[in-house]
A and B are shown apart, each in its own frame.
Chain A
Amino acid sequence: MTMKAAFLEVYRGFMSLLTGMRITLGQCFKPIITVQYPRQTLKMAPRFRGHIELVLDPETGKSLCTACKLCERACPSDCIAVDGAKLDGQKTKSVTEYKLNFTTCSLCGSCIEACPFDAIQFSKDYNKVSFSRDTFSHMDLVKRLEERRKIWAQQRPAAPPAEMPMPGPAPASTPQTQEQKPS
């Protein structure tokens, strides 16, 4: 290639290096976009799919689940084990034991769609942590419902049942640190 073209190519190449450096310099002075996780946490989207949990009925404080086992059948990786019993004084069965094997659950939501009574929903907590495996392989959703019922019960006597604010489904286990939505 001709001498002129060679020099031109070297010159243009060198200029492309400079533009590259100009861009990184420009980026250098822009604000930081990363969220410093342990100190700041992100707010999860309303439709975020955490592990499934039983819905707390605002009026009665009990679960809506009637142990019909439809979700158990719909689950592709059969990680749900439901057990129900007919308590006296009620026409339908109510759930006594709801075991979820979160280690094999693929969060697809087939169980929630299959449930005719909308008794289960996705929870919003993402940083569940524990020292032993079986807290996840035998997640007991009924026990978790009890915990939330206690919180719900405390708020209930304070305010009359009618306009009682529904406690946020996310149990208070995650550290309540300052929330910061990245710019």
Chain B
Amino acid sequence: MNATLELVAERLSQLIGQTAVPSRPPMPVSANLAASTASFVSGPVQAVDHALKGYDLDVSVPPGLVVLAARILDNAGFGIDAVTGVDWMAQGEMEIVYDYFHPSSSSRVAVRTRVSRADPELPTISAVFPGANWHERETHDFFGIRFLGHPNLAPFLLPEDADFHPLRKDYKP
């Protein structure tokens, strides 16, 4: 866990600690939020072995805090890598994973958030990371997740008049 990673882990855990966590059943609210960095095992901010998982820090954030988390990572010098949508139809939820990489130190952060499948809505982070503009537009194309405040959510990879979302599990071609 190199320096930048610990700094970011520290700030993110404070961020999650401060705001009242909205009632979200699957989110384990760990009691000792101000725990020292070494104890990032359970709870929203988990250190992960890179050789095992491919990223170093796994942070679960409520949908509202996505922009703040992005701002913290931006100040720490991280770059946006990818925005992945996963459709957990069984649990009736959509998971969005933001991947961040750091140009100089070998640290990769995956910020996860879960949104209800009925009306998937999420604030956009393209204000902080303009690169995410394209990623979010693509995720909107495939999953129908609406990103509030996104400059131009028109279909991107699909034909202009496409109203279907192929990567949803209940998509029948």
Q: Give yes or no for direct A-B contact (beta carbon below 8 Å).
A: no
Which B residues have a C-beta under 8 Å from some C-beta of A?
none
